[in-house]
Amino acid sequence: MQTVILAAGEGTRMRPLTAKTPKPMLPVVDRPVLAHVADVAVDGGASELIFVVGYHAESIQSHFGESYRGVPVTYVEQPKQDGTADAVRAAESHLDGSFVVLNGDNLYDATSVQALFENGPALGTYEVSTPSNYGVVSVTDGSVTDIVEKPADPPTDLANAGAYAFPAKAREWLDVPRSERGEHEITDVVTKVIDAYDVSAVELDRWLDVGRPWELLEANETVLASIERDIRGTVSDDADLRGPVVIEAGATVEPGVVIDGPVYVRSGAEIGPNAYVRGASMIGADVHIGNAVEIKNSVVRADTNVAHLSYVGDSVLGKSVNFGAGTKVANLRHDGETIRATVNGDRVSTGRRKFGVVAGDDVKTGINTSIDPGVMLSTGIITDPAERVSRDR
């Protein structure tokens, strides 16, 4: 079955990480979020992957090429991000029967997506604690009876998980009017399908909407929890690797290093000497972690350098970041409250007691910089030596 994967948006809620990278191409352990979505689609039985692209489309095209795991890949452009129904409509001319639609920035479990393929028309649902933040689905005897977007008084706790198996007829219903938010919403297409068909509700075993930086941390934590130990790189006899640790070929672990899994180290990375990396952490390709550095529960993207005597906890560092010697990231409020961070200009709760810094690409800190919890550092920002960074820059 043809599978449309929506990957055109920038992901403004993920800034500054998306200044140069589309949100679906941000890393979850060893591959982008979008590759995790493509994997479950292929495992579910996709006959063709149709990526709807827009923002930095070239990065998606160069990663996936013309086929992925033996399945042909087609790219269609959504020049202006004008809603999810508009995105699917961009792919309409390539569709020739029933089809599946998946969000390119969500983590799904493969078994549930396979059930979606097998039981179409179908809609993926997931039980959540705050349904008013999502599209909410009503189900009777296993069939979807209604869907409503972010209701103040949710009728159920089942969220719309952004996974749909549509009948061929739905191609005629993609031209929906704008919603109150000013976009063409795919949920309006779903409503038309519910009125005409018996739509199966497929409750997902795993689902995560990777929309904000701390959700990227959560996504990595989720996937790292299932990794198995695999040591292919060069590891000193004086290093101590504990539990589920992956060291890719081409990575180097120096003497005195302690790595306490789950930790994934990509090819070309150099760790140590005498560094401490503990779970759940992803160390990207060609990263350098210096002497006496501690990395805890963080995502460190490719080509980044964390110099000696530094601490990074519960943080996301972009590409080609350089943390000067002695840079310290604070990741805990002493009053026990959850840490707040800025999303699209608003300060919002991360829901986490521990959360450090989000550094965009090419950030550089002077020696002995200290960074308060929840700070966002924009692409290319440079701090002064011994500076305390207490607000977004």
> What is the distance between the alpha carbons of residues 281 and 259, in angstroms, rounded to a whole number?
10
User: In the chain, which residues have pLDDT < 50?
Assistant: none
Element (H or E) spanning 196, and its range?
Answer: helix 186-196
Answer for the pair 109, 206: CB distance below 8 angstroms, yes or no: yes
Catalytic choice (56, 63, 94, 308): 308
Crossing angle (nearest 10°) for helices 110-118 and 33-44: 50
Q: Answer for the pair 144, 201: CB distance below 8 angstroms, yes or no.
A: yes
Task: Classify residue 354 by its DSSP letter.
Answer: B
Is 308 part of the annotated catalytic residue set?
A: yes
> Rounded to whole angstroms, what are the CA distances from 189 to 97, 178, 181, 194, 203?
16, 12, 16, 9, 20
Find tokens 């990395």 and name the residue.
Answer: 295
Q: What is the dihedral of CA 192, 195, 201, 207, to 10 degrees?
A: 20
Q: Which helix (H) or strand (E) holds 235?
A: strand 234-235
Distance CA 287, CA 197 (A): 52
Are the beta carbons of 128 and 147 closer than 8 angstroms? no
Please state, in angstroms and as integers, the Cα–Cα distance from residue 311 to each residue in 135, 307, 315, 357, following that order.
39, 9, 10, 11
Confidence (pLDDT) at 295: 98
What does the angle CA 222 – CA 63 – CA 280 come to, to the nearest 5 degrees?
Answer: 20
- Rounded to whole angstroms, the Cα distance separating 48 from 67 reads 9
Domains recognised in the chain with CATH numbers:
2-211 (3.90.550.10), 223-389 (2.160.10.10)
Question: What six digits make up the tokens of 97?
Answer: 């029967």
Task: Give the pLDDT of residue 182.
Answer: 64
pLDDT, tens digit (0-9, with 9 covering 90-100), for 59-107: 999 999 999 999 999 999 998 877 888 899 999 999 999 999 999 999 9
